[in-house]
Structure 1
Amino acid sequence: MNINNIMSSLEARHPGELEYLQAVKEVLISIEGIYNEHPEFEKARVIERLVEPDRIFTFKIPWVDDKGDIHVNLGYRVQFNNAIGPYKGGLRFHASVNLSILKFLGFEQTFKNALTTLPMGGAKGGSDFSPKGKSNAEIMRFCQSFMLELWRNIGPDTDVPAGDIGVGAREVGYLYGMYKKLARENTGTFTGKGLDYGGSLVRPEATGFGGLYFVNRMLEKHGIDIKGKTVALSGFGNVAWGAAIKATELGAKVVTISGPDGYVYDPDGISGEKIDYLLELRSSGNDIVEPYAEQYPKAKFFEGKRPWEQKVDIALPCATQNELNEDDAKMLKANGVLCVAEISNMGCTAEAVDYFIANRVLFAPGKAVNAGGVATSGLEMTQNAMHIQWTAEEVDSKLRQIMANIHAQCIEYGLEKDGYINYVKGANIAGFMKVARAMIAQGVI
């Protein structure tokens, strides 16, 4: 495999798609050695087939606001790879959505889903529509218009969307309601549904919960007890919410959260009623965090900054891609950080990841750490297919086991000669091998 040739070809085909190209290059670097040990992969051109999505749907979404004005947004669904199961991945509604971001997310999703050991392929979709500041009626009309274009191309054994940034239980409900009406079937075509119509317990918290289960395994493997450790989180969506709850349950202390306005540092820890306050703040449509410092005077607000400058034991990016750069990585290392793990997708820049690995900082990538969300979505699909609902304890137990299995796969393929566990390499190889073997078995399609 010639990485430079492959990347040059991709850059020529997809100029300017930086996030997508970054994600592909990271995987290629990790798998180069094992790929070259399997001449059957090269003969079948597995890489050339794997780095391109199976298909991309792009469509306009006209919708009418409460004043009667007409708006037009763009919608996408990237069906990346279904070698091991139906396409599976979230929908993101945010002004920043573009094809490069969705292709990177769909590519990552392919390997992440493979790591869960559940039969799910990789996909992603969304729109440059932002629900922020819109009424429920406007969001409903937009979701219905979105689904009018997409419904023929999804289904319980074809493609199962879910939520992501900007797509929560409300949006999933509107999307699924329209799908159900058009398809005339009531199936597990969406995950992240409400509990009253096929949703799974623990799903809203699952990404954060799973991330902490993985981090705890990492620390235990290295003889470190998570109890008493300080944790920096970014963002405060569902991911950071679940992470804050589980970190506190495991005995750690969360000391930062962040928003578009900056971050808050609370030396007393963010838990209990403080989390409830943040949830109330978020549900009011306010995603800034400065009011937290006004509510809790011991906390300090840092305008326009990121939490990675604080001295903490564990750093967990939970917001969006490339939110932690090389300078942040150097600050964390200088401050003695014990562990960094991406609970957001590709939360660190490539330079930051290289720095962590070169300096032997304990680091794990999003495709392993944040797989708890899609794993629980897979469990929701199973419950829907069986027409049952498991208890929260049953779902949580299965989630713990899945994250333990992912951690074991990372060690199997990521243990290096000096004893350092390269979780990036381990996760990429483990996910790739499963998908590649399935592609070889199914012929050239």
Structure 2
Amino acid sequence: MPYLHDTLAQLQQSSPAQTEFYQATEEVLDSLRPLLDLNPRYHEHSIVERIVEPERQIMFRVSWVDDHGKVQVNKGYRIQFNSALGPYKGGLRFHPSVNASIIKFLGFEQVFKNALTGLPIGGGKGGSNFDPKGKSDGEIMRFCQAFMTELYRHIGPTVDVPAGDIGVGGREIGYLFGQYKRMTGRYEGVLTGKGLDWGGSLGRKEATGYGAVYFAQNMLKARGEEIAGKTCLVSGAGNVAIYTIEKLYDLGAVPITCSDSQGTIHDLQGINLKTLKLLKEVRRGSLREYVEHHPQATYVDAQNYPEGGHAVWHFEAQLAFPCATQNELTEVDAVALLQNGVFCISEGSNMASTAGAVERVLEARIAYGPGKAANAGGVATSQLEMAQNSSMQQWSLEKVDVKLQSIMADIHQRCAHTAEEFGQPHNLVVGANIAGFRKVADAMIEQGVY
């Protein structure tokens, strides 16, 4: 369709050098072709041109003082992408790789992910190129306070409700919330992922990982399979990976890998969850230490990864769960997964697979859950935290988990039905993109031009 090509070309002119953002928009727009052919009103209302542009882009300087008294400067971002379905909702990422392209791609994906949950939330994303690794608690507190000193004026419980993401866990959310309260004088549900004693939700920490496993469970059920007894590959060693591994064990599967930026662990006996939590949640150290506790395991240094790929995907298994970061599963990795017996991939990270990898996987017609569907459990439970905050209640873990399972089943059903509607029953990428886009686009048309 010429106008899709024109929209992408204009985007590259108006937002130069934003590779990840181009990748995300091209992937979504390409899969919308069958819907746009049938519904000219989306073109008539310029929905495509409007939906790829954020409603608001906020960039700011973050100046803070390190433990040596030296002033450090980072860049902060908040992209408020689309509010057609509700207040902006999406995490904050603190990582040295953060730039405008990363935040915009994440915000764009968040719009459709949030729409798929069926909950009343719009899409946004934010963060900074600040690196929490190696920083003291005092330095992280001072950075978070400086970051929130600017951000507070742009957010609110009915406007924009940030959460955590890579580099932003309970500690960072606590410091951010404390500064918001100091700046506004208000105690309100403006952030999710809060501590359980002051407005947090049970199950929130586990939700993204658990949700990715529940989504895989639904994909497998549709194919007459189950998770129990399956060998699984998991990437990452952060919050999402840890709780993906935990839920896999709960359901009778055996996760045999995990990874961080320095290397990969392969443990045929199954990743020891207690050791992983000790190394990553308590010590915040390297996975290299894992083999000291479990000598039967193998550690593959990142310098020895296959060319164009990642070692974590090059072992025999049936299920795979990318839970680290964007583009972590390459075409080389996808070929290896298929050769090694993987027949189900459920993405715990955003845009985990490159375009080449997605093409290989879809050609093979294995079960594939794209991130905007498979990892929606985190934002869904964030919205449940917002609901608890507004009613001044705290639900039981069982209640939250039941709701999470129901939401993930509904997302799978919505994606599967939409894919079937458009004649591609095995393609949940098409199902997720069309279902999410249609909900947001219809709301935009009904609300008029804004």
Matched AA of 1:278:
L
Equivalences for residues 119-134 of structure 1 within 5 A: 119-134=120-135
- SS of equivalent to 1:415: helix
- Are residues 1:334 and 2:339 paired? yes
Query: Which of 421, 424, 437 is 2:442 aligned to?
Result: 437
Q: How does 1:312-323 map to 2 (within 5 A)?
A: 312-323=317-328
Q: Matches of 2:285 and 2:448 in 1, distance apart?
A: 48
Deviations 1:399-423 (A, max 9, x none): 0000010000011111278874211
Counterpart CA distance in 1 for 2:67 and 2:79 is: 30
* Structure 2 match to 1:299: 297
User: What letter corresponds to residue 336 of structure 1 in structure 2?
Assistant: G
CA distance in structure 1 between the aligned counterparts of 2:170 and 2:281, rounded to whole angstroms: 12
Pick aligned residue for 2:329 from 304, 324, 328: 324
Q: 2:85 — aligned with what?
A: 84
Once the 2 structures are TM-superposed, how far is the Cα of residue 302 of structure 1 from its aligned partner?
1.4
- Equivalent residue number for residue 269 of structure 2: 268
Q: Cα deviations across residues 7-42 of structure 1 (Å, max 9, x unaligned)? A: 111112222101100000111011111122112111
| Cα distance in structure 2, aligned partners of 1:163 and 1:215 | 23
After superposition, residues 402-421 of structure 1 pair within 5 angstroms as: 402-415=407-420, 420-421=425-426
Distance in 1 between the 2:68 and 2:323 partners? Answer: 36
Q: Which moved more, 1:151-160 or 1:31-40?
A: 31-40
Q: CA RMSD in A?
A: 1.2
Give unpaired runs (5+ residues) of structure 2: 306-310
When residues 314 and 416 of structure 1 are mapped into structure 2, their CA distance, relative to the original with a 3 A threshold, is farther
Cα distance in 2 between the residues matched to 1:218 and 1:32 = 25
Distance 1:89 1:172, change over 3 A: same
Q: Which amino acid aligns with 2:247?
A: K
| Long gaps (5+) in structure 1 | none
Taking the aligned partners of 1:105 and 1:285, their CA distance within structure 2 comes to 29
TM-score (norm 1): 0.97
Residue 40 of structure 1 aligns with which residue?
A: 41
Please state if 1:212 is matched with 2:213: yes
Secondary structure of 1:90's match? strand
Letter in 1 for 2:111: T
Instruction: Point out the more displaced range, 323-332 or 294-303.
Output: 294-303
Distance 1:417 1:39 in 2: 16
In 2, the alpha carbon distance for the partners of 1:288 and 1:318 equals 17
Say whether the 8 Å CA contact 2:215–2:369 is kept in structure 1: no
* Separation of aligned partners in 2, 1:225 and 1:175: 41
Q: Say whether residues 1:385 and 2:386 are aligned partners.
A: no
Query: Alpha carbons of 1:417 and 1:131: their partners in 2 closer, same or farther (altered >3 Å)?
Result: closer
Structure 2 counterpart of 1:288: 286
Contact 1:365 1:423 in 2 (8 A): yes
- Taking the aligned partners of 1:175 and 1:36, their CA distance within structure 2 comes to 46
Range moving further from structure 2, 109-118 or 419-428: 419-428
Contact 1:79 1:123 in 2 (8 A): yes
Q: Distance in 1 between matches of 2:157 and 2:46?
A: 30
* TM superposition shift of 1:294: 2.2
Answer whether contact 1:360 1:420 (CA < 8 A) is retained. Answer: no
2:308 is matched with: none
8 A contact 1:260–1:287 mirrored in 2: no
Where does residue 161 of structure 1 map in the other structure? 162
Q: TM-score, normalised to structure 2's length?
A: 0.96
Contact 2:144 2:172 in 1 (8 A): yes
Does residue 376 in structure 1 map to residue 381 in structure 2? yes
Aligned counterpart, 2:180:
179
Alignment partner, residue 147 of structure 1: 148
Question: Is 1:398 aligned to residue 403 of structure 2?
Answer: yes
Greater Cα shift, 20-29 or 6-15: 6-15
**Matched AA of 1:341:** S
Residue 309 of structure 1, aligned match among 314, 327, 330 = 314
Output the CA distance in 2 between the equivalents of 1:367 and 1:247: 20
Task: Say whether 1:424 aligns with 2:432.
Answer: no
- Match for 2:410: what amino acid? N
Residues 41-93 of structure 1: per-residue CA shift (max 9 Å, x gap): 11110000000100111110110111111111110100000000000000001
Q: Compute the displacement of 1:364 (Å).
A: 1.3
1:311–1:335 Cα contact (<8 Å) kept:
yes
Aligned residues, how many? Answer: 442
Say if 1:163 and 1:192, in contact at 8 Å, map to a contact too.
yes
What's the CA shift for 1:192?
0.2
Retained in 2: the 8 A contact 1:133–1:285?
no
Looking at structure 2, the residues matched to 42 and 442 of structure 1 have their Cα atoms a distance apart, in angstroms, of 16
Amino acid at match of 1:84: L
Paired amino acid for 1:210: G
Return the alpha-carbon distance in structure 1 between the equivalents of residues 415 and 352 of structure 2: 18
The one-character-per-residue Cα deviations of 1:323-344 (angstroms, maximum 9, x if unpaired) are 0100110111111211112111
Structure 1 runs (4+) greater than 2 angstroms displaced = 283-288, 415-420
CA contact (8 A) 2:34 2:422 kept: no
Contact 2:227/2:252 (8 A) holds in 1: yes
Which stretch has the larger CA shift, 3-12 or 342-351? 3-12
Q: State the partner residue of 1:110.
A: 111
Displacement of 1:288? 2.3
Cα–Cα, structure 1 residues 420 and 413, in superposed 2: closer, same or farther, change >3 Å?
A: closer
Give yes or no for contact 1:80–1:122 (8 Å, CA) kept in 2. Answer: yes
Contact 1:132 / 1:285 at 8 angstroms: preserved in 2? Answer: no
How do residues 338-357 of structure 1 correspond to structure 2 at under 5 angstroms? 338-357=343-362
| Structure 1 segment 21-60 matched on structure 2, within 5 A | 21-60=22-61
Instruction: Give the C-alpha shift of residue 187 in structure 1.
Output: 0.9
Find the aligned partners of 1:228 and 1:149 in 2 and give their Cα distance. Answer: 50
**Residues in 2 aligned to 1:101 and 1:174: alpha-carbon distance in whole angstroms:** 24
- In 1, Cα distance between the equivalents of 2:34 and 2:425? 17
Percent of pairs with identical residues: 52
Q: Aligned partner of 2:298: which letter?
A: K
| Per-residue deviation, 1:287 | 4.1
